[in-house]
Structures are given as C-alpha cells and as structure tokens.
Structure 1
Amino acid sequence: MEKWMRFQARVKRDLRFWRGLQRTLKRVKSIARDSNNLICDDIQAAVEQWRNERAMTFEGRTVTYGELDAMANRYAHWAKGLNLRRGQVVALFMPNRLEYFAIWYGLSKVGVVTALINNQLTGLPLAHCLNISGAHHAIVDAETSPVFEQARPLLERKMQEWVLGQAHGDQRDLVQALKSCSQLPPDRSVREDMTAADTVLLIYTSGTTGLPKAARITHMRAQLMMRGFAGATGATSKDRVYVALPLYHATGGLCGVGAALLNGGSVVLRRRFSATHFWKEIVAEGCTMFVYIGELCRYLVNHEFDEDEIRHKVRLAFGNGLRPDVWPQLKQRFRVPEVLEFYGSTEGNVSLFNFDGREGAVGRVPKWLKKRFNIRLVQYDVETEEVVRGLDGLCVEAGPGQVGQCVGQIAAGDARSEFTGYLDKAASEKKVLHNVFERGDAWFATGDLLRTDADGYFYFVDRIGDTFRWKGENVSTNEVAERLLAFPGVEEANVYGVAVDGADGRAGMAALVVDGAFDAKAFSDHVRQELPAYAQPLFVRLLPAMETTGTFKIRKVDLVADGYDPGKVKGPLFFHDPKKGYVKITKSVWDKLQAGTVKI
C-alpha cells in the first residue's frame, strides 16, 4: 500500500510538472532570433484583443489596454520628433508609475532602446549607469530629477533631461512635449528590417559586489520572459497581478507584467513595496496573483498579523529566491494555495520552474527530460574559485547531492539558450566557460552554486564568492543564514567570510537584525546545536536595519570591508569564545585578538 501511494504521488507530481512545462513551451516555441515579430508586436496583439479591458491600476487610476497603447504611441512619436534612430538609447530614471511600462513599450515601436536605471541610485553609481548606457536623453520625474542633477557633473557627455513634472533651467517639459504627439501607432515601416535579435532594453545587474553592469535584453529575450510567465503561471483574463517590485528589474517589469498583459489580465502596480499595505491593497483590488523576490516574503512573515492576510483571493505567488524556512509560512499563514518558484537571471540563458511545488526547490529537470534542457552542474573549487577539470581538461559534472556551479549551454540559433551578454564585451566573455564537456563547446557560467537530488530537483546553495572555506571545509553563507534565522528574534541575517590574520581561509561572520534584546548565551546554544564547528560564525554584529538593493538583495561589500574591527563597526559586536560562547568585543578582547592570545 505504501509503495502504491508513493507511486501515485510521483505520477501526480510528474503530471503537474508536465502540464506546467507544456503551458510554457506552447507560449515560447515560436520565438526566433531572425523573426520580425518583436516584443511590441506581442503587446500590440494583446491590445487589439482586449482594447477596452482594464490593463493597469496605479494609485487609484486605471487605464485600459487601448489607453495604455495610446500613451505608448505618444512616446514613440516623441522619439521620432527628436530624430532618434533605431538602436539609439534613452535612459529611464523613475520610480514605478503608470507611465513607466508605456514609455519603453512606446520607444520599442520605433526601434529605440530604453536603459532602465535603478531609481535608488545616486552619485557615482548613477552616473556610471548613465555613462555606459550611451544615452543622450534621460526621462525623469519630480522625485528623481534632483538626484539626476546632483550626478550631472559626473556625466561624460551632455545629456538632455526630460521631466514628467515641473521643468527648471535646461530641463525640458516632457508633459508639454507629449501634447503635440499623436496617439495613433507609428507606421511599422520605421522598424523595417529589425529582428528579435535587436536590443530593446538595457537592464542592470544589482551591483551587490561592485558597480552595476548593463545586460543587453533583446526583443527575443523579453519575449521569452513575458511569454514564458504568461504560460507558466496559467494566468487568464480574469487575473489581477499585484506588482510591488521595481519595474527596472526583469522579475517585476517583464515576468510579472507579462503574466498579466499577454493574457488579457491586469496589473495592480505599487510605487514601492510596503508590508503594512500589502494585503490591504491585494484585498481592495481583488488581486489573484502576486510576484515576489524572496526577501519580500520574509518581510511579510515578520510583520504583525493583519486580518486581510487571510481574506484575499490570491491563488498563486510566483517569483524567485524564496527561502525554505519562509515557504511553508507563506502557504500556511497566508493561505496561498500555490507557489511557483523559478530560477534564472536577467542576462543568463538558464531557466528553471518548480511547477509541482516541492518546497525549497528552485526547479526540476526529470531524468527523462535531461537531454532537452541546457542546464548542468559542474564541480567547483571554492578555494581557487575555478571549475574542477579532469585529466582530459574537461569539466567534471556534479552528481546528485553534490554542490556544483550551474552552467547553461550556449547554442547558436536556439532562442532559449542564447547568451546576449553585457554591453561590456570583456565582462560578457568572463561569464563564458569553454571546453566544458566537449572540445569547442561554450557554456554560460551563472556564478551560482546549486545541488540536485535523485528526483531531478535543483536547490540553490549560494552565490560564488559568498561561499568560503574555513578549517578545510566549504561554508555556504546561505545555509548558515537559514539556521540563524531559526533563532527566535532574528529577523534578518547576512553571513559572509572575513580574513583573519594568521589563519587560512576566511572566518564566518554574521550581521543580524533582531527584534528586541539579543540573548548572546541562548544564541550561542542555538548555534552549537544547529551548525557544525567550522560553520559557526566566529563574529556577530547587530544592525538596526539591513542594507539592500532596490530588488531586496542584501549588500555584503561594505560589511566585508568593515570586518570585525570595532573601530569600523558601529553597534554591538561579538566574538565566539570557544568556552564562553558569544562575548562582546571590548577593548581588552580586541587587544587579545590582535595579539593572538585568543585561540581562533
């Protein structure tokens, strides 16, 4: 009986996976790099089918598909009026607002590329993103205009600033300029000879470890994301998708928007995420889906109870980066029936979907379909930061249970496995591994460490560079953080390696955000019980809040630079004494650490 039940469960799981895969493939199979059908044509087709249906709601205002298209057409004619030519770039530096999607959609109709600039950036990082975009025009609003002005002295060329709002000095009033622009679609001949291999967007990496890089998003790549999620989510014209993620990022701006608009559904757009307003707005707007980044869900489970969290009509949450400890809480506490976790990157050629809902897994490739997927795991040495190669010079594949770097085969002519790379060709080449399984082959190196199980499920382990080696063992910062988050009162945990004089490798350090008082003794007991000796953080610091990127990715670079030096670290700082547990680093403790009289 038990074997029969296991067999039934496996069949049910495989059917659910197969249906999800078929829905997705049905939507993306016709995408080809030499096609003259562009992403704007996909959106235009949706407009023609659902012209009078609601498309997007933002801060109390709702527009139909037809109204959204008319708005986009004005931007297309505005660009034509400036004599912007195919392939030229306009920088879009604004927070989420109703016009955001319409701007890049409209510019794509005349072949103009839009650089989606993170509206959280200031100073040098902002100037860097604007400089590498190659844009001579930038669209801003009242919120971002002052920030742009502050970065202007750092720009390498003159850039005309167009403001959706009050214009000052050399700024131009975009609202006024648009009044003379037609709402009718531009003639399709303006993008004649363009193909899906042409660039439509520049989307930047998060810059967690340095300055952002600009990834080239072709029409084909945008179609894969928007069509792929339109199929994977199973969304229909009755669905309303709540998007609180920034539209300058692919997860919210392409995957979330695509799931709704390519199916006749609608987007409920929020300026920025708020745990306080999240469920209230979802209930008020009748949302049936929401798109997430993992840390967004952690903020929700850490928030106090809200009666709206169980009064909603949400049937599906989809996104990436959902931690295994948050997953069951998302489903049980908030009564979300289904979670669709995916794995992928803006610029990469690897994508996975967890169609059958195995908690903790980022996706699955069953054995019977392995040859149809371009994804593999190769053994990786975290100490040398290189892939492991055999005597023949080729990479060694990681087996079930082994941790390896995720790589995706680059195949010419296959839209789903093409790697378009960054604007920086040198940065693009660094992401390509050659002679992986055969002489002359090429694979995209994701920079992520994953592992698989016997059933073909993939589990995220850590980012390369985050995993470090201590006492001869590999330590996954992601896995350590999960165990620290299980301690009562720890709301956020950021784990990283720091150099220690006279010691090989890097020692573990954790930055914590805690709710209330921090019980160092109880925390010491928890760490000893949950983690092997080599993985126990040697140092701990407490933070009032965790610094994150606009897409909720935790920044580590500044924390690593601070190390465990009390002269650089503000706030409580602890050292893991082998006998006493975690003790505060006072001047005397620091002196002993510096003198080497304390055993590490």
Structure 2
Amino acid sequence: MRNAVSASLSLGSLGLLRLFGVPWSWSLAAGFGVFLGTGGWKYLYIVVRTAKRDLNGLYVLLRVKIALWHHLRRNSNIPSIFAQTVNQHPNKPALIYDATGETWTFTQLDLLSNAVAQWALAQGWAPGDVVALFMESRPLQVALWLGLAKVGVEAALINFNLRRDALLHCVGVSVSRGIVFGAELAGDRLFYIYTSGTTGLPKAAIVVHSRYYRIAAFGYHAFRMRQDDIIYDCLPLYHSAGNIMGVGQCLINGLTVVVKKKFSASRFWEDCIKHNCTVVQYIGEICRYLLSQPVRPSEKGHRVRLAVGNGLRPSVWEAFTERFGVAQVGEFYGATECNCSIANMDGKVGACGFNSRILPNVYPICLMKVDEETTELVRDRHGLCVPCRPGEPGLLVGRINQQDPLRRFDGYANQDATRKKIANNVFKKNDTAYLSGDVLVMDELGYMYFRDRSGDTFRWRGENVSTTEVEGTLSGLLGQADVAVYGVSVPDVEGKAGMAAIADPTGTFDCDAFLREVQQALPPYARPVFLRISPQVDTTGTFKIQKTRLQREGYDPRLSTDQIYFLNSRAGRYEAVNEELHSAIVEGRMAL
C-alpha cells in the first residue's frame, strides 16, 4: 500500500540520516519531506478526516466481538440471553401489538414462550427439527419461535405473502416437520395447490444464535440506541430487519418494541406519537412512501430521533430528514447471511457504511473488480482477486473465518446455493470469501455507497447504466412514484436498452413532459428507451421493486395490458408500441 510505503521510506530516511550524524531537526524535516513526496500527505489527510469515525467503529466492533466471545464461552444462546433480560426488566413492556393495543411484559413473553416450548415437546418435536411459521406479524410469532428455540427446535419464518409454488418451495426446502399458521390465513385454499416453478424462488438462510446476537448488538451499539428507546417495527417479522434488528433489541437489550401488523404510510407518524416511539425502522421504499403522503401535523409532533434501516436512496435521504425532523439516519448494509455488514455511524448522506482506510485489515472486507461482460471476479497474474481503487465500483466480499463469529458464513439450507456464494483465492492463496452479489463504490475516505445488485447494471452505448441511480432520479421527477428500471435485449444491438416501468394509478402520465425532464436530468445513455406505464409496480413484502416478470415480458405489447412506449430518437418523442412498431424494432427497421 502506497501509504505504508511512504511511512516506511520516511522512517528509513530518518534513521539513515541520524546514523550519519545529521541533526534531529534536519533529519525530521527530510523524513517528513520523503513522506509527503511519496503520497503520505494524502494518507495524513485521510487520517485527520476519518480517525474519529474509525475509532468509534473499532470500539463498536470490539464491544460486539468481546460480548460474542463471552457468550460463546458460556455456551449462551438467544433463550438464555433473553432469560437474563427478563431478570433485569421483569415488568417492563417488551412487545406492544399496535393492532389491539395489547402489551406484553418481559415476564409475560417469557411465560408464553415457556408454554410454547412445552407444547412443542408434547408434539414429539426434538432438537434439530424444523417447524414452519406462516402468519402475519404479531407478538405471538416472537413467542412461538422463541419457545421453539428453548427446546432446540428451529423455526422457518415463511413470508406470509407467498402462495402456490413459492410457498411450497419454502416449506419444502426447510424440511419442516410441522407448520403453524395464523387464523387469518386458514381459509386460503391456494395453500393446498401444487404447481411447478423453479425460478426466482427464495433461499433459506441459516441464522445461528451467534449471528442473531451479532446483528442485534451491532445495531444497538453502532447507532447508539438507549435503554429507554421505544422502537416502531412496521417490518414483516419473517424478515431479518424486522425480527433481528427490531425484535432483537427487545430480546437482547431490553428495549420496548411496537409490532405493527402491516406498514401504513398514512398511519406511520400517528402510531409513533401514540406509542411515544423514539426509533423507527425502514427498508426498501418506505421512506419514499412517507414522503409521497400529504403533509400532516403528526409528522412533526413525534419524538423519533433515529431511523434505522437499509435501502434509503440518496435522492430521498435529506428530504426525509428535513421534512420529518429525524435527527439521525442509521443506514446499514447487510444480508441475513453475510459476513461483510457495514454501517453508517456518522450520518454521511448516501453512504451505507464504511471501512477504515487507516486499518483496513481490522475488518477484512473489500470491493473487488468484476468483469463487466461475464460478471466474474477479475484475477491478477497470481490468481488473486484485484481490489478496486477509490471511485471504482466493485463486488463487496468478506473473508471467511469459521472460527470467528464475525467472519463466519453459515450459508443456506441448500448446499448448492451455499457453494455459489463462496470464492477461493480472493485476498491470498487458499483463503475463502463470501460473495455479496452487490456492487458498491468506495470514496477516498472509505465511505461506501450502494451502486447495484450484481447483474442489474447494464451497458448501453458503451456506458454502464446503474438501475438504482436511474430509478432514484426518475422517481424524484415523478413525485416519488414507484419506478423499476432494467435492461432489455434488442436483436442485433450491442448491450441492453433501458426500460422503465412506472406506476401511474391516476392515469395522468404525460410522455412529453416526462421526456423534457429526463433530458435535463440524465445523460443520453441513461435515458429509458422503453417505458411501461401501469397502475402499480409490484413490490416484495419488504418493499423492494420486483423486476423478474417485467424483464421477461420486455417491450412486447402482446404480453401485457400495460401501455408501452418507445423513444423515437429521430422524432424526439415517445411513441406507443403496437405490434407493427414492435416488429420494426425487433427486425432492425427502427433505429434506436
């Protein structure tokens, strides 16, 4: 590393001059000159700008790691840690169910989970068995999986929005011996329909006790949560953000958590006032949905000081904090199973976290270069991966060490899926690393910014187009509407043409006005060649835009009832795509 070389040369010069009897003042001046002359000044600049941040990050890392080792030595698990929490806060509210106003104290939650444990044993379930939970978010779901864990039974948390093949896949891949479902889903006969389908199905990530603790403790310390905080958890409890980052603060750290059955943009701030919440959670597009709501008095009458989550677009960040008066945004990056989580601890707008430029090996993660055509990792002449320089987008990877609870990778229930996420000879010979599948970019101070999912970025007109960046821009132009951007293939045309699916529930979309705005906001290569206008754009249960079906249907008007438009560059306008125009595009008779 150039900084280390600069320091070594500087110290070497200093020592050599002193060896020959040169006075200290001259030797120091010469050594400092060598340091600056070999790039050390940049390093000094980075140290000055980031030392406080890095020390805080190191403190959080060490605190979580020491606590983890402490629990591992004592063979603690989540139920035993929760038992300590119950002893400390027996009568404190643990969970509040917003739908009914029902409050469960830590003692009540403990007693109910004990009853669940006894019931599980009566069913004949043994340690290592798996039971699927299929229900909407409610405190009972927490008591169920916690009670199962007390007798060693693993819970498979199933997305309650799933139906048919996806539901059958998730239950099947977990090898569940039983399924507990909510009464609200009992009459849904789709549950019993067996259909085929193997693409785009979820993977079952393994969450061991140490990982659950690590994620919850990491969030608590990184974002400076307090014992008197009340968390508003409107995220689904089958998701790690809602269940671990949210409910985990209750079980591990003794905070009160308000469980919302389903996210409501119109009720969000009223709920926060009702329950005196000081921390809220977000994910995906939630903050944008809140911004699209009409102004209400409640949005400034709350006590919320911290919003914790991931997926907050830079274009929405400052508008969210300014309008709603939220002092701190705790944006983080991390998947349930990953070993390369990062966090934005100091509120750097747009950043999802950082890694120290001073001591990068303390937390061994890195952005590695990827071949733009094959999406494979680029290797040097020694067969090792090539790290990115600041400003270069790359794939985030984390070195695996199965003996270190912070570095281990537990994988998925499906071993083939696990193998696909591991690379060899990454940092050094014979090592292994976790492949995040996400492209980030790091600036000169070590702040990292989410760029795209690997494979979502596409090339057009010889340029890389980031779907995430274009989506953020277009959504902002359209008053925070739902927008999905993706690349579509055109026969005999190099690269992929950009296509944007836009939600227009009122039917008032104006192509001409949209094009004028786009021409001012985006470079030519990033402007959508195709548009798809529909009443709504599908999202997942965690408020992330779904693109699989959109990409499959492309711009063929026969495959959808939505209105599709094509940017006729010669005419300078968007034109409706009918079968005749579609044929002309596919056959190369219409210039793109």
What TM-score do you get using the length of structure 1 for normalisation? 0.87
Q: 2:102 aligns with which of 35, 54, 61?
A: 61
Is the Cα–Cα contact under 8 Å of residues 131 and 154 in structure 2 kept in the other structure? yes
Offset of residue 592 of structure 1: 2.6
Pair 1:116 & 2:149 matched: no
Alpha-carbon distance in 1 for matches of 2:555, 2:74? 55
Alpha-carbon distance in 2 for matches of 1:312, 1:16? 29
Offset of residue 581 of structure 1: 2.5
Partner SS state of residue 184, structure 2:
coil
Q: 1:150 aligns with which of 145, 165, 190?
A: 190
Counting only pairs closer than 5 Å after superposition, residues 273-288 of structure 1 correspond to structure 2 as 273-288=263-278
Counting only pairs closer than 5 Å after superposition, residues 383-462 of structure 1 correspond to structure 2 as 383-462=373-452
Which range is displaced more, 227-236 or 73-82? Answer: 227-236
Aligned to 1:198: none
- Deviation track 1:178-224 (CA, whole Å, cap 9, x = no partner) reads xxxxxxxxxxxxxxxxxxxxxxxxxxxxx997011101111111111
Is the Cα–Cα contact under 8 Å of residues 235 and 259 in structure 1 kept in the other structure? no
Partner SS state of residue 245, structure 1:
coil
Is the Cα–Cα contact under 8 Å of residues 234 and 259 in structure 2 kept in the other structure? yes
- Deviation track 1:225-271 (CA, whole Å, cap 9, x = no partner) reads 12222222322221100000001100010011223443322011110
Q: 2:169 aligns with which of 110, 125, 128?
A: 128
Pair 1:589 & 2:581 matched: yes
Matched AA of 1:150: L
- Deviation track 1:348-395 (CA, whole Å, cap 9, x = no partner) reads 111101000000000011212311012100001231121111222221
Pair 1:524 & 2:565 matched: no
Counting only pairs closer than 5 Å after superposition, residues 16-35 of structure 1 correspond to structure 2 as 18-19=55-56, 21-23=58-60, 25-32=62-69
Alpha-carbon distance in 2 for matches of 1:214, 1:578? 46
Offset of residue 14 of structure 1: 4.5
Pair 1:327 & 2:328 matched: no
Q: 2:203 aligns with which of 213, 220, 230?
A: 213
Aligned to 2:52: 15
Is the Cα–Cα contact under 8 Å of residues 94 and 106 in structure 2 kept in the other structure? yes
- Deviation track 1:500-525 (CA, whole Å, cap 9, x = no partner) reads 11112221110012475222122212
Alpha-carbon distance in 2 for matches of 1:331, 1:208? 41
Matched AA of 1:563: G
Aligned to 2:115: 74
Aligned to 1:497: 487
Partner SS state of residue 206, structure 2:
strand
Partner SS state of residue 67, structure 2:
coil
Matched AA of 1:100: Q
The alignment's C-alpha RMSD in Å is 2.2
Q: 1:478 aligns with which of 468, 490, 511?
A: 468
Pair 1:368 & 2:358 matched: yes
Which range is displaced more, 382-391 or 47-56? Answer: 382-391
Alpha-carbon distance in 2 for matches of 1:122, 1:340? 33
Aligned to 1:138: 179
Matched AA of 2:77: L
Offset of residue 37 of structure 1: 0.7
What TM-score do you get using the length of structure 2 for normalisation? 0.88
Aligned to 1:336: 326
Matched AA of 1:593: I
Partner SS state of residue 272, structure 1:
coil
Alpha-carbon distance in 2 for matches of 1:449, 1:8? 27
Is the Cα–Cα contact under 8 Å of residues 288 and 480 in structure 2 kept in the other structure? no
Offset of residue 401 of structure 1: 0.2
Alpha-carbon distance in 2 for matches of 1:490, 1:313? 25
Offset of residue 490 of structure 1: 5.3
**Structure of greater Rg:** 2
Alpha-carbon distance in 2 for matches of 1:39, 1:564? 50
Alpha-carbon distance in 2 for matches of 1:553, 1:209? 18
- Deviation track 1:423-446 (CA, whole Å, cap 9, x = no partner) reads 111110010011112110111000
Aligned to 1:106: 147
Counting only pairs closer than 5 Å after superposition, residues 137-216 of structure 1 correspond to structure 2 as 137-147=178-188, 149-152=189-192, 154=194, 210-216=200-206
Is the Cα–Cα contact under 8 Å of residues 564 and 573 in structure 1 kept in the other structure? yes
Matched AA of 1:116: L
Aligned to 1:49: 88
Q: 2:455 aligns with which of 465, 474, 480?
A: 465
Query: Which consecutive unaligned segments of at least 5 residues does structure 1 have?
Result: 1-6, 157-206
How many residue pairs were aligned?
A: 543
Matched AA of 2:192: R
Matched AA of 2:95: M
Offset of residue 584 of structure 1: 1.8
Offset of residue 20 of structure 1: 5.5
Is the Cα–Cα contact under 8 Å of residues 485 and 493 in structure 1 kept in the other structure? yes
Distance 1:8 1:57, change over 3 A: farther
Is the Cα–Cα contact under 8 Å of residues 362 and 460 in structure 1 kept in the other structure? yes
Aligned to 1:191: none
Query: Which consecutive unaligned segments of at least 5 residues does structure 2 have?
Result: 1-43
Which range is displaced more, 13-22 or 385-394? Answer: 13-22
Pair 1:91 & 2:132 matched: yes
Alpha-carbon distance in 2 for matches of 1:478, 1:155? 33
Pair 1:569 & 2:569 matched: no
